A and B are shown apart, each in its own frame.
Chain A
Amino acid sequence: GAVVSQHPSWVICKSGTSVKIECRSLDFQATTMFWYRQFPKQSLMLMATSNEGSKATYEQGVEKDKFLINHASLTLSTLTVTSAHPEDSSFYICSAGGGIDTQYFGPGTRLTVL
């Protein structure tokens, strides 16, 4: 089946620094990828839709200047958390469509901001 990878798997950073998370579709091309955030014991919340070659579409309440998304190629989307703060600590998961009837998720990135 289709594989989506994320890097890094986990990251610890100091408050005020920026962190970049990569999402790659390894064996298929994805014009659209999605970024989710998941807090402990909660469900996935869609943050934004990443569109190859154009601007990302952000969900209501998500700050686009804080969560920068770049989808520069058909196999790579990046999420940069700028000026991270402890409340940004979460599990960030990307997904890419494998067809009309499924969507594949990456393994997730656990971000801890000290």
Chain B
Amino acid sequence: GQNIDQPTEMTATEGAIVQINCTYQTSGFNGLFWYQQHAGEAPTFLSYNVLDGLEEKGRFSSFLSRSKGYSYLLLKELQMKDSASYLCAVRGAAGNKLTFGGGTRVLVKP
């Protein structure tokens, strides 16, 4: 089975940096995804990691350590519009099925 943990909520100030951690225990691993979801909307794709290391995309970066079962999403230069839920999802060994963590609600304050 899959078990994916991430903090429930985080608060940060506009312009600051926030790091959202995700730990996972899975029976197989074929990639880790981060999605952003605003209330009442569908998730939008942010990043994908399958090898160890850091992937950078503008203000967002994602890191993966497969040996530790650990990933983080780093949001820099926070903007008010970044207030949303951030979902960590792991793809198992077979097929394209994703298992989602509980999501982290990030609140950006002025």
Interface residues of A (CB under 8 A from B): 32, 34, 42-46, 49, 91, 93, 95, 97, 100-108, 110
Contact B102 A46 (CB under 8 A): no
Q: A43-B87, A43-B103 are in contact. Are A105 and B42 (CB under 8 A)?
A: yes
* Bound CA span A104–B42, Å: 10
List, sorted by A's number, 20 A–B pairs whose CB atoms are closer than 8 Å: A34-B97, A43-B87, A43-B102, A44-B87, A45-B100, A46-B97, A46-B99, A46-B100, A49-B95, A97-B96, A101-B31, A101-B50, A102-B33, A103-B45, A104-B45, A105-B42, A105-B43, A106-B42, A107-B41, A110-B40
B3 at the interface (CB under 8 A from A): no
In this complex, what residue of A is CB-closest to B8?
A: A41
18 additional A-B residue pairs with CB within 8 Å, beyond A45-B100, A100-B31, A101-B48: A34-B98, A42-B102, A43-B102, A44-B43, A44-B87, A46-B99, A49-B95, A93-B42, A97-B96, A101-B31, A102-B48, A103-B96, A103-B98, A105-B44, A106-B42, A107-B42, A108-B40, A110-B40
Contact A108 B103 (CB under 8 A): no
CB distance from A66 to the nearest CB of B (A): 21
Binary flags per residue of B6-25, CB closer than 8 Å to A gives 1, else 0? 00000000000000000000
* Bound CA span A66–B95, Å: 24
Interface of A is mostly: strand
Contact A103 B42 (CB under 8 A): no
7 nearest A-B pairs in the assembled complex, by CB-CB distance = A105-B42, A43-B103, A101-B48, A44-B100, A43-B100, A108-B42, A43-B102
Q: Cβ of B99: which chain A residues have Cβ within 8 Å of it?
A: 46
Q: Cβ of B96: which chain A residues have Cβ within 8 Å of it?
A: 32, 34, 97, 103
Give residues 79-110 of B contacting A (CB, 8 Å). Answer: 87, 95-103
Q: Cβ of B35: which chain A residues have Cβ within 8 Å of it?
A: 105
Contact B48 A46 (CB under 8 A): no
Give residues 21-61 of B contacting A (CB, 8 Å). Answer: 31, 33, 35, 40-45, 48, 50
